[in-house]
Structure 1
Amino acid sequence: MKKLVLLSFVIITFFGCGDEIRFNTPAMQANREGETWRATYFAADIDFGGFLVEGGMGLEVLQLVTPTDGTGTFSLGENSSAYAVFRDFDGTVYSTRNNPDPSVSIYPVEGTISVQEIDNNADPKLISGEFNFTAFSEDGLRSVNFIDGVFNRVSLIGGLEVIND
């Protein structure tokens, strides 16, 4: 009887669930304000000589913009040509181009976007990297923080439009 149970377990383990295993690649996700934020759709574009990486979940949209279309780490902040924009479910737009109100923070906006890999052999091309930032609303009174962010094998398909911040 033990042999039959063991044999059944082995058969189910190897053959029963084979089609149900899925890997989370490609992906775009981060830790937003202490909670996992995982995009349900994502794409990338080359605009204005740099990358635009976009991911969204429901009404929320996150965009990462770099000044060049190559690998590298780009600092985010007041005088940077790289920036991040997040539009919340209620339409509030947060940007690393906005400075915090002095009553909220005396520290300037900071963060990075790091494009680590471009797969030119794929069709369409794929890009991967990491990001982290704190962005502020236009009035500087509200903020959103993304840490440990990754975009992995996101397709360069084009047709994206930058969120006005």
Structure 2
Amino acid sequence: MKKIFLILFTAVLMTSCEEDIKTNNPSVQGRLENVFWRAIDSKAELFPNGSLVITAKARLQTMTLKVPSKNKGVYVLGQNMNRTASFLFDYEDDTSLFYQTGVTTEDDFQGDGQIEITEYDDVNGTVSGNFRFNAYNVLNNPIGGEILNFNQGVFYKVQVRVVPGD
């Protein structure tokens, strides 16, 4: 009887020791206003002019990172419109908040930060890197309004779709 109980106990113990591994590939995540944020969907698009746009979505929020090239390197934000970070809060009551780095007028630069491409994998069609930015609320106050902070941002093995040219 003891042997049967021991065998049954061992069998139950062994079957309950399964590993439930959750992969985080691809992933876009970071700290939005010092609170952990993770996208539930992400994609990247490579355009014929060479620019790369990474889009990450989480429920009613959309973040977009734009750089002029897929090449490895650090792209400084807030100096022109071909290197931007934006964040959209699209609420269910049809109101929105839109934050962006870039240029509001010819000589007015706003926001700051950087996007770093650490790996562009041509074989698998993925892009990885990190980012951080301070973006201004451009819908309600286009010059010097409320600031949104996103730091410790990482995008990892986001699938890239090559957009065909005309």
* Match among 113, 116, 132 for residue 114 of structure 1: 116
1:78 is displaced (CA, Å) by 3.1
Considering fraction of residues, name the structure with more strand. Answer: 2
Corresponding residue for residue 127 of structure 1? 127
Which ranges of structure 1 fall in alignment gaps of 5 or more residues?
100-107, 160-165
1:96 to 96, 101, 108: 101
Q: Which amino acid aligns with 1:93?
A: F
RMSD: 2.2
Residue by residue, what CA displacement relative to the aligned partner does 1:70-110 show, whole Å, maximum 9, x if unpaired? 111111113463110111134221111157xxxxxxxx622
- Counterparts of 1:1-165 in structure 2 under 5 Å? 4=7, 5=9, 8-13=12-17, 17-18=18-19, 20-47=20-47, 48-79=49-80, 81-90=82-91, 91-97=96-102, 109-122=111-124, 125-138=125-138, 139=141, 140-158=144-162
Instruction: Tell me the TM-score normalised to structure 1 length.
Output: 0.78
Within 1, Cα distance between the matches of 2:116 and 2:27? 15
Cα deviation, residue 6, structure 1 = 5.2
Q: In 2, Cα distance between the equivalents of 1:31 and 1:71?
A: 23
SS at match of 2:90: coil
Deviation at 1:153, TM superposition (A): 0.5
Question: Percentage identity across aligned positions?
Answer: 26
Structure whose CA Rg is larger:
2
TM-score, normalization: structure 2? 0.77
Gaps of 5+ in 2: 105-109
SS at structure 1 position matched to 2:69: coil
3-state DSSP of counterpart to 1:85: strand
2:87 alignment partner, SS class: strand
Please tell me whether the aligned partners of residues 56 and 62 of structure 1 are also in contact (alpha carbons under 8 angstroms). yes
**Number of residue-to-residue matches in the alignment:** 145
1:155, 1:149 → 2: CA distance? Answer: 17
- Once the two structures are TM-superposed, the CA of residue 59 in structure 1 deviates from its matched residue by 2.2
Aligned letter for 2:52? F
Deviation for aligned residue 1:158: 4.7
> Is the 1:51–1:69 contact (alpha carbons within 8 Å) kept by the matching residues of 2?
yes
